[in-house]
Structure 1
């Protein structure tokens, strides 16, 4: 399983874990090497995380972005509930359908909202493995583009990644710096057994 956040200084991984832990390691590294260029990545998506490293470690930690709650998590109750329907975190949005779609939805037990939720849940279950594989490939691609875009075999490695050719992918990046290579492999194939 990939850590929540990962920090790199050049080709070396200098920290991994939750955001405060990684920020602390990065700040301590910067305090020792003022010229260091540190990149912090979201460990799941490889999105770069912007951290303001000015001041003390406590200053840096106080300014960290707060993580958004996971979409499937219910927020913790803040007060005792009163009578009525429970708050389910439902967000009203607009969708556009053809009249025949609205006619079909109107005939479904529970109405349009219930039918659409069931359809979405069914589609999520049916495409779950594909979605996880695609997300892993996208995360590896983002990381590799930032950290290895000028490395030998980069383009061929990207082709192998999206062609699902794990053996060729590993062969093409075998000579890359160990921390970059290992993290790219971990990202690309974290959803698969070895």
Structure 2
């Protein structure tokens, strides 16, 4: 995962949590640690998705941090011309035109709705999105927790059973099965999994 696109992350040196928080703070801690312990194995995870985050650790701490500044690279790129032909839709309003394929009876029904096809389709999509929000959050959280667990606790006692508890949304079993894991790995796995057990919980 692109480090510059990460808001917050957590770094582990072996099974110990090295740093957690804003990406620049974590990058600084990782660089200092690796310089002092070049043999150390450090893994960094996005705090929300548990996607692996890679830092370019070449040079000084200041060099590492400078590469995390998205404005540094964009400043050297030529500005895009405003004279490019505009596509369909209303991009200034965030509206994008794309092809939708429906049966004739669907088009007939949409055309008869107040506001026409576009307004009705947007309402239907919003309603469906809200209805699936809890399930989507649970699935995303389960995937994040499993991603981290596979990387850091794949050989730990009870891993397979804990995985089953995670996807069964059995919080009590998950807590029990992860009890013997290294403390920092266990705690972060539980933090990620808690969003699967409580899908209304906002990501930290």
Distance 2:102 2:53 in 1: 38
Higher mean alpha-carbon deviation, 152-161 vs 117-126, is at 117-126
Q: 1:88 aligns with which of 71, 85, 93?
A: 93
Alignment of structure 1 residues 102-117 onto 2, 5 Å? 102-117=107-122
Q: What is the TM-score when the length of structure 1 is the normalising length?
A: 0.81
Higher mean alpha-carbon deviation, 171-180 vs 46-55, is at 46-55
Q: Which residue is equivalent to 1:165?
A: 170
Q: CA deviation at 1:180?
A: 0.6
Q: Which residue is equivalent to 1:45?
A: 49
Q: Which residue is equivalent to 2:9?
A: 5
Q: 2:26 aligns with which of 18, 22, 25?
A: 22
Q: Match of 1:164, SS?
A: coil
Q: Which residue is equivalent to 2:147?
A: 142
Structure showing the higher helix proportion among its residues = 2
CA displacement, residues 38-91 of structure 1 (integer Å, 9 cap, x when unaligned): 11111111111121111111111122274xxxxxxxxxxxxxxxxxx8822233
Whether 1:57 aligns to 2:64 is no
RMSD: 2.0
Gaps of 5+ in 2: 1-6, 71-89
Q: Match of 1:8, SS?
A: strand
User: Runs of 4+ in structure 1 displaced over 6 angstroms?
Assistant: none
Closer/same/farther in 2, CA of residues 94 and 149 from structure 1, 3 Å limit: farther
Distance 2:23 2:96 in 1: 28
Closer/same/farther in 2, CA of residues 14 and 132 from structure 1, 3 Å limit: same
Whether 1:100 aligns to 2:105 is yes
Q: Match of 2:180, SS?
A: coil
Structure 2 contact 137–195 (Cα < 8 Å) conserved? no
Q: Match of 1:190, SS?
A: helix
Q: What is the TM-score when the length of structure 2 is the normalising length?
A: 0.77
Q: Which residue is equivalent to 1:35?
A: 39
Q: Match of 1:5, SS?
A: strand
Q: Match of 1:53, SS?
A: coil
